[in-house]
Structure 1
Amino acid sequence: MLNISEQTDNRSVEQKSILFKTLKTPNAGKLLAKVLVSISLVFFVLLFFPWQQNIRGKGKVTAFSPGQRPQSVESAIAGRIEAWHVIEGQFVEKGDTILTLSEVKDDYFDPQLLQRTQEQIEAKRQSIDSKKEKITQLENQIEALQNLMKVKLEQAQNKLRQSRFKLTSDSVDYEAEKVRYANQENIFYRNKQRYEAGNIALTKFQELESKYQEAKMKLISAENKFLESKTEVINARVNITGVEAEYQDKISKARSDLNNTAAEVFEAEAGLAKLENQFSNYQIRTQNYQLVAPQSGYVVKALKAGVGETIKEGESIVQIISENPRLAVEMYVKAMDVPLIQKGRKVRIEFDGWPALQFSGWPSVSVGTFGGVVQVIDRVESRPGEFRILVTPDPAEEEWPQQLRMGSGTKGWVMLDNVPVWYEIWRQLNGFPPSLYEAPEDAVLVKEEKK
């Protein structure tokens, strides 16, 4: 068996403790330890401080209204620059002449083009008036022919009635003569037999024969009158048809002339309208020889240089910017952050050239930044993966600097909700999007109105 003693040797331990007690801790080490402990405590406390989440974006200064943004003044016609009436940086009122153009197209070289076109218009108007007067005369002529046709038809019908009356009278006379002739013929042949028998004298027989021949002559004459009356009736009927046909032909010809003249009037009126349109175009083109300012503002840049330079239709000549535009910031944010932004969100903006110290999570301690409000959010992407928002000055914050110029660069932070600092660090390390617990009051009101 092993012989192990139950007593322990404490001399080595006591020696070590004595050695440690003899050593001294440096003052710098103590100070560093205190500093590190203090920093750790402060950092630990800061982890529970509120941090306002935000969405970052870059952009530039622009005008909120499209009409107040820099615009190019274009020439409506092709021409040659004759004279400049402004210089760059000059303020111009709306309607002021910027430059004067001269004509370069041979169709408009005539200096009396407007006067000659006006003379053509007056001649065309007089031609139309003459044709309208002709239409009036043709209408009167047609009316007169219609009235004359009625008179002639009435006369022809009266003649037809007279012919019928005469036919009736002649037919009665003819019938009467036939009866007389038959009686005289009977008397003649009876007395002829008596004469042949010697019962009457020759003188008596010759007297009867003379009466018989006279009756025969009267019968033939009555028959001829009867036939003439028939012919007159037929002629009267034919005359009615002829009169109607004659005047219908004259009326139809007059109506044809009337329609042709009316067509000429319509064609002349179309030509007149074309000439008036051409005259108006000439007038407008003449007015475009003077290029005027579309709005009051400053001449930014002349895009065309010297006198005598030829420009094309629709070519930009000079840029003008509005005098007092309503400034806004055109900011671009990532597509993943757009659903978290609503109209009315507060924005902190840092302008290029203005010194600033920005604590994005603590906007209240930021220096040199300016307040804004989200007014417009584009419904389609403006850049690949980015959407544009328009930010206007916040009326509750300090006014934006008067020295701002359009096109200046900006940095912006769209302010969201408050979260602990440890949560924001955790979110950033994991790449999660910001949290959104409450929408601005304006956005809530908009949603309620839509519902």
Structure 2
Amino acid sequence: MIGISNNKIGKDFTFEEFKSFGMTIPKEESKKRIRILLWFLIGTFLFLFLPWTQNVRTKGFVTALRPDQRPQTVHSIIAGRIEKWYVAEGEYVQKGDTVLLISEIKDDYFDPLLLERTKLQVDAKTMSARSYSEKVRSLEIQIQALKENNVLRREQADNRLKMAELQVTSDSIRFEQAKVNFKVGVDQLDRAEKLYNEGLRSLTDFEQRELRFQDVQAGLIAAENKLLQSINARIAAMIELNAIDNDFRDKMAKASADMYEAMSSQFDAEATATKLENQYANYEVRTGFRHILAPQEGYITQAIQVGIGETIKEGAEIISILPGNAQLAVEMYVAPVDFPLLRIGNKVRFIFDGWPAIVFSGWPQITNGTFGGMVQAIDNFSGADGYYRVLVVEDPEEEPWPKALRIGSGADGISLLNDVPLWYEIWRQLNGFPPDYYTSREKAENRKTK
């Protein structure tokens, strides 16, 4: 039956009723199957040499490239109570548009005329400081006048002292002359007395000589008295000169003390005025904070604080704004094992939520519905979950991203790496080796070669 024995039983039996055995007999259909299997093996072998683009799959979401163009929350700088809403969710606002009006809830700012009254206090303190300034200027003029008057008075006192000294000199000369005359008179009186005693002169001549001697003696006393008066006048002139200096120092000390007191009051008034001006400016700025303004143009996405009469705290979140003209980018997160493969300028294909796509990750040429991107920035440190953040912008060489794409949409990224044979990729996957990567220069050279 299977060629072991020379005895043939095919003539004695028919095998048509044994279907399982009949299927083992070689026929034309079996030969076709063998050929199909052979061609399949050959095709599979050739298929292993097809080019395969290595890639890294990542998840992410659409965001804005610039930080100031990303969705932001508007906060209240001051505590207050909601009085009126000027916008609704979904509306488009321009930068500086009024979004919300709040009123004060602190008793320090309840006064409706707070700014006007604070301004009056500022003006009053400013005028007070100006008055003290004028007083200081007047005292400076007074001090200058005292100095000039003191110079004149000192010159006048110096002249009196010089005159007194000259008078003392003159009187001392007269006193010396009177002493000489007195001595001469004494000698003449002695001679006249001798002549009278000798009988050479008459009593009348002697008495006349005595009278003249009395005049000389009186002249000596008068000259001495005049000298003493001149000395006293000189002493008085010296005392007057010292009194002028003392009086000038007293007046200068008092005027200087008044001036410094006025200056101190001026500086204190200026400091108070400056403090009030600062307070007035703070009140004025705080009044402007009652109107919550849009920091940039965009869409009102969500009102966090709602209702009329609801109180909010300082720094509380009020609304969120989505910028209208933001440059979109994809923020995707890469595992540490794939992080060394990424370079700035690498190409990335994206599948955005809401846009269907047919993806062949290894053959991006036949992939349909994906959009191109290019790596713009890579973080140098990992996040709290251990993944690295990568920002990818729109590739200018590829089809532009959809206009209806919005911030926050999900994105499935395919980072394209090097082109390798399919068998190499299978071998790499089985062995757990990392994929290859290319540089921007290598890619440019490959394009030039093609």
Give the alignment's TM-score, normalised by structure 1: 0.90
Q: Match of 1:86, as an amino acid?
A: V
Aligned to 1:214: 215
Q: Is the 8 A contact 1:343 1:443 kept in 2?
A: no
Give the Å deviation of 1:194.
Answer: 4.4
Superposed, 1:70-149 pairs within 5 Å as 70-149=71-150
Distance 1:284 1:235, change over 3 A: same
Distance 1:31 1:368, change over 3 A: farther
Where in structure 1 are there 5+ consecutive unaligned residues? 1-10, 445-451
Alignment of 1:380 onto 2:381: yes
Q: Match of 1:305, as an amino acid?
A: V
Superposed, 1:427-446 pairs within 5 Å as 427-436=428-437, 438-441=438-441
Aligned to 1:421: 422
Instruction: Count residues in correspondence.
Output: 433
Q: Is the 8 A contact 1:79 1:311 kept in 2?
A: yes
Give the Å deviation of 1:287.
Answer: 0.8
Q: Is the 8 A contact 1:344 1:442 kept in 2?
A: no
Distance 1:144 1:59, change over 3 A: same
Distance 1:22 1:62, change over 3 A: closer
Superposed, 1:59-78 pairs within 5 Å as 59-78=60-79
Q: Match of 1:373, as an amino acid?
A: M
Q: Match of 1:109, as an amino acid?
A: F
* Counterpart secondary structure, 2:407: coil
Q: Match of 2:94, as an amino acid?
A: E
Distance 1:228 1:142, change over 3 A: same
Give the Å deviation of 1:175.
Answer: 0.8
Aligned to 1:399: 400
Alignment of 1:167 onto 2:168: yes
* Counterpart secondary structure, 1:58: strand
Distance in 2 separating the partners of 1:215 and 1:22: 191
Distance in 2 separating the partners of 1:196 and 1:125: 103
Distance in 1 separating the partners of 2:266 and 2:286: 30
Superposed, 1:243-254 pairs within 5 Å as 243-254=244-255
Give the Å deviation of 1:34.
Answer: 3.8
Distance 1:358 1:266, change over 3 A: same
Give the alignment's TM-score, normalised by structure 2: 0.90
* Counterpart secondary structure, 2:419: strand
Give the Å deviation of 1:256.
Answer: 2.6
* Counterpart secondary structure, 2:100: strand
Superposed, 1:25-64 pairs within 5 Å as 25=26, 29-30=30-31, 32-64=33-65
Distance in 1 separating the partners of 2:7 and 2:113: 126
Stretch of structure 1 that moved more, 25-34 or 387-396: 25-34
Distance in 2 separating the partners of 1:347 and 1:62: 16
Distance in 2 separating the partners of 1:22 and 1:289: 93
Give the Å deviation of 1:429.
Answer: 1.5
Give the Å deviation of 1:294.
Answer: 1.0
Aligned to 1:325: 326
Deviations 1:167-210 (A, max 9, x none): 12111110110001001112223333444555544433333222
* Counterpart secondary structure, 1:385: coil
Distance in 2 separating the partners of 1:266 and 1:403: 65
Distance 1:14 1:254, change over 3 A: farther
Deviations 1:213-271 (A, max 9, x none): 22112111101111221222222122222212211321232223222222322222222
Alignment of 1:261 onto 2:262: yes
Superposed, 1:238-387 pairs within 5 Å as 238-387=239-388
Distance in 2 separating the partners of 1:442 and 1:182: 139
Distance in 2 separating the partners of 1:185 and 1:379: 128
CA RMSD of aligned residues (A): 2.5
Q: Match of 2:369, as an amino acid?
A: G
Give the Å deviation of 1:145.
Answer: 1.0
Distance in 2 separating the partners of 1:115 and 1:22: 111
Where in structure 2 are there 5+ consecutive unaligned residues? 12-20, 445-450
Give the Å deviation of 1:424.
Answer: 1.1
Stretch of structure 1 that moved more, 208-217 or 367-376: 208-217
Give the Å deviation of 1:336.
Answer: 2.6
Q: Match of 1:304, as an amino acid?
A: Q
Distance 1:16 1:99, change over 3 A: farther
Give the Å deviation of 1:23.
Answer: 5.8
Distance in 1 separating the partners of 2:111 and 2:403: 52
Deviations 1:310-349 (A, max 9, x none): 1111111000101122211101111232222111111011
Alignment of 1:237 onto 2:223: no
Distance in 1 separating the partners of 2:410 and 2:29: 48
Distance 1:28 1:383, change over 3 A: farther
Distance 1:22 1:356, change over 3 A: closer
Distance in 1 separating the partners of 2:359 and 2:262: 86
Give the Å deviation of 1:22.
Answer: 11
Distance 1:172 1:83, change over 3 A: same
Aligned to 2:412: 411
